[in-house]
Amino acid sequence: MTSKRNFLKMSVLGTSLLGITALFSETRAHSAVSKRRALTTKRTNKPIVVSTWNHGLAANQVAWQILSKGGKAIDAVEQGVRVPEADPSVMTVGYGGYPDREGKVTLDACIMDENQNCGSVAFLQHIKHPISVARLVMDKTPHVMLVGEGALEFAKSQGFKEQNLLTDKAKSAWQDWLKESKYSPVINVENHDTIGMLALDSNGDLSGACTTSGAAFKMSGRVGDSPLIGAGLYVDNEIGAATATGMGELMIKTVGCHLVVEMMRQGLNPEQACKAAVERIAKKLGDYKQFQVGFLALNKAGEYGSYCIQSGFNYAVTDKSGSELKDAKSIL
């Protein structure tokens, strides 16, 4: 009887001990999960927006107004890059951009969202905001890219008004250029104003936009990397996003921004991924030293980084802690 009672006592004790142990390890597991969650949340720096060059600061401000209120990254990047598009003092984006050799301002732009949707326009004339036309190509057509006359007709059908984009300042720069008609892209001067912008919103979604008037005094009909998904911009919402500035032919030849995102998929951080893409250009393209190329990347955790060929490329970062301009590292 006694031994039976003892046995029962032991069993009860055993059971409760087991229960306590189970409870304890469950609590431990639970707290590990929540610690991990806390770490992930703490580590994810969102919302955040990054963009190329000095004029990125003003563009980021507009993007930040959307992001800081819980808005979507795709809206933030579209509205953000409209700032330099409308600014005539920015002479390689939108209105006021340098024309081609024939004196025509021809614009390239693309946009990409968190669901792999994208839209693009190239060789678009007379429309101040090519990025918003690209957005509508994405939202309202079954296509990704419209060019030239077709892009213009589409823009007009959506209510965009034609206007003269050639300012007096850009016209006189072109007339000066005509005196020698020598096409030699100057590093960090005539090729330095494309805006590429990447944003991570408070929902954790990534989007990007890129818009430019392209290389100054280019051949008529020349299209650079900026409207080409994969070359001038790429977004993969699982991994990260990248954009590029500089001599577009080099990005096209290496599908540069796709390469940067794939490098991040392999585990590189944004700066390392941008560096790897610049090194790929250096390895494959012999004449790379004459040109500038800069990549800018943002990953899913809100970490960002950049790399370029020549020193002198900078980018703007805006998040909860404010805005700042940062210099990219370079291989030369």
Q: Give the residues lining the site for ligand SD4 (CB under 6 A).
A: 92, 191-194, 212, 214-215, 224-226, 245-248
CA distance 162 to 187: 32
CA distance 207 to 168: 35
- Choose between 245 and 314: whose C-beta lies nearer to ligand SD4: 245
Q: Pick the catalytic residue: 52, 167, 194, 243? A: 194
Q: How far is the CB of 233 from ligand SD4 (least distance, A)?
A: 10
- Choose between 132 and 226: whose C-beta lies nearer to ligand SD4: 226
- Choose between 92 and 120: whose C-beta lies nearer to ligand SD4: 92
Q: How far is the CB of 260 from ligand SD4 (least distance, A)?
A: 15
- Choose between 238 and 287: whose C-beta lies nearer to ligand SD4: 287
The answer to whether 194 is a known catalytic residue is yes
CA distance 206 to 47: 10
Q: How far is the CB of 185 from ligand SD4 (least distance, A)?
A: 9
Beta-strand pair 107-112/118-124: antiparallel
- Choose between 213 and 237: whose C-beta lies nearer to ligand SD4: 213
CA distance 198 to 239: 13
- Choose between 66 and 259: whose C-beta lies nearer to ligand SD4: 259
- Choose between 114 and 249: whose C-beta lies nearer to ligand SD4: 249
Q: How far is the CB of 98 from ligand SD4 (least distance, A)?
A: 10
- Single-letter amino acid code for the residue at 171: K
Q: How far is the CB of 236 from ligand SD4 (least distance, A)?
A: 21
SS (H, E, C) the chain: CHHHHHHHHHHHHHHHHHHHHHHHHHHHHHHHHHHHHHHHHHHCCCCEEEEECCCHHHHHHHHHHHHCCCCCHHHHHHHHHHHHHHCCCCCCCCCCCCCCCCCCCCEEEEEECCCCCEEEEEEECCCCCHHHHHHHHHHHCCCCEEEHHHHHHHHHHCCCCCCCCCCHHHHHHHHHHHHHCCCCCCCCCCCCCCEEEEEECCCCCEEEEEEECCCCCCCCCCCCCCCCECCCEEEECCCEEEEEEECHHHHHHHCHHHHHHHHHHCCCCHHHHHHHHHHHHHHHCHHHHHCCEEEEEEECCCCEEEEECCCCCEEEEEECCEEEEEECEECC
Sheet containing 329-330, strands listed edge to edge, beginning at the edge strand earlier in sequence: 233-236, 240-246, 293-299, 304-308, 329-330
Q: How far is the CB of 192 from ligand SD4 (least distance, A)?
A: 5
Instruction: Give me the active site residues, please.
Output: 194
